[in-house]
Amino acid sequence: MDAGAITDVAGLEVGHFSDPRRPTGCSVVIAREGAVAGVDVRGAAPGTRETDLLDPTHLVPHVHAIMLAGGSAWGLDAASGAMRWLEEHGIGMDVGAGLVPLVPAAVLFDLHVGDPAVRPDAQAGYAACVAASRQRPAEGNVGAGSGATVGKLFGPELAMKSGIGTASVRLGEVTVGALVACNAVGDVVDPANGQTVAGARTADGRALRHCTAAMLRGEALHPLLAGTNTTIGVVATDAPLTKAEAKRLATTAHDGLARTINPVHTMMDGDTLFALTTGKAARSPGMVVLAVMAAEAVARATLRAARTARGISTSNGLVLPAWDGLDQS
């Protein structure tokens, strides 16, 4: 069954840049005509840019793109490249003296996957914009998902490869789509059956450990630095919304992460979701229905982030299998 994509939402384009030197990159969601936006940060160790302007009480009415990137805080520079591309294409807020493109951003930590000196920069963000289109975006080991991993509670050497995924849900004339780069410290779980899809492996590396069960058995966790994980994403709709409603949509979209990541929103994750609305649909089905659609789209996209990933071996000795490379019992 076609899972759909965030680009099913009218008015949005998506582009990836994947760095050929090591697994890292960035992904951009562009709204050429501007979009009302909100954000909700649930993880305790976020890396973000320009999120304050999304507060419903603040002045700016629209943003022009959202940047998702690897590279930890270094990756926030990718948003500068997106600003340059948008300005060159006549996109931005008119401030009289010129156009100022508004590009909120969030990053995930992938510096342990290969050479940490290689990370997304402004040129990477620019390249992602050049690649942007209305086509269904690639998934798995691309863009912000290039260096994404999951299941690090028992050590990065027992983690697994994840990536970036997309999905959409449609009801009548309204669409809600999501793009999620999953780099969680916990496991990815299929909400349809409760089974772990990807996550921490057993000591021999051959099977899934199942984090919750292992922790409840009292197994010791690996010491981890806060912020060295994080799931980031965008949920978008064409239903007309206010800034306050966009903020609420971002909040309820986190329910989708809670269905598919276990544990989620930890002290070691900086889980952040942006919400966008292009307002292209004639009417909204109401916030309750949109919240259900948003959570479902995010859950499906997160699951696809794990299931479209491919296993890799890195230059610094990590062997990271994907979901289909292990005993799933």
Domains along the sequence of the chain with CATH: 6-325 (3.60.70.12)
Q: Please check whether residue 126 is in contact with residue 87, taking contact to mean a CB–CB distance below 8 angstroms.
A: no
Kindly report which listed range (57-66, 103-112, 219-228) carries the lowest average pLDDT score: 219-228
Hey, what are 228's tokens? 């060295």
Contact by Cβ (8 Å): 147, 320 = no
The pLDDT of 313-322, averaged and rounded, is 91
Half-sphere exposure of 113 (CA within 13 A, CB side): 37
Question: Residue 207 gets which letter from DSSP?
Answer: B
Helix axes 78-88, 122-130, angle to 10 degrees: 50
* Predicted pLDDT at 223: 84
- Lowest mean pLDDT of 86-95, 209-218, 284-293, name the range: 209-218
pLDDT given for residue 2 in this prediction: 78
What's the pLDDT score for residue 100? 97
**pLDDT reading at 303 higher than 90:** yes
The tokens for 88 are 């060159």
Average pLDDT over residues 109-126: 96
Rounded Cα gap, residues 274 and 37, in angstroms? 7
pLDDT for the residue numbered 328? 59
How far, in Å, CA of 235 to CA of 6, rounded? 8
Q: What was the pLDDT predicted at 326?
A: 79
- At 1 the pLDDT is 56
CA–CA gap between residue 229 and residue 267 (Å, rounded): 10
Residue-wise pLDDT tens digits, 57-72: 998 989 999 999 999 9
Rg (CA), the chain: 18
Cβ(58)–Cβ(117) under 8 Å?
no
Q: Which helix (H) or strand (E) element contains residue 78?
A: helix 78-88
Percent of the chain with pLDDT over 90: 89
For 253-287, write each residue's pLDDT tens digit: 999 999 999 999 999 999 999 999 999 999 999 99
Q: Residue 135: its pLDDT value, please?
A: 97
Is 321 in contact with 158 (CB distance < 8 Å)?
Answer: no
Bond prior to 321 in cis (omega within 30° of 0):
no
Give me the pLDDT at residue 324, please. Answer: 87
Beta bridge partners of 258: none
Given a contact cutoff of 8 angstroms between Cβ atoms, the answer to whether 322 and 161 are in contact is yes
Q: How far apart are CA 99 and CA 51, in angstroms?
A: 19
- pLDDT of 327 above 80: no
Per-chain mean pLDDT for the chain: 95
Strands (E), the chain: 13-18, 25-41, 48-49, 63-69, 93-94, 99-100, 105-107, 149-150, 160-161, 164-171, 174-181, 187-190, 195-198, 232-237, 261-262, 272-277, 312-313, 319-320
Between CA 68 and CA 75 the distance in angstroms is 8
Cα gap 120→77, rounded to integer Å: 7
Q: Can you name the residues that pair with 164 across neighbouring β-strands? A: 140, 181
Residue 313 has pLDDT above 80, yes or no: yes
How many residues would you count in the chain? 329
Q: Which residues lie closer than 8 Å to 286 by C-beta, 6 or more apart?
A: none
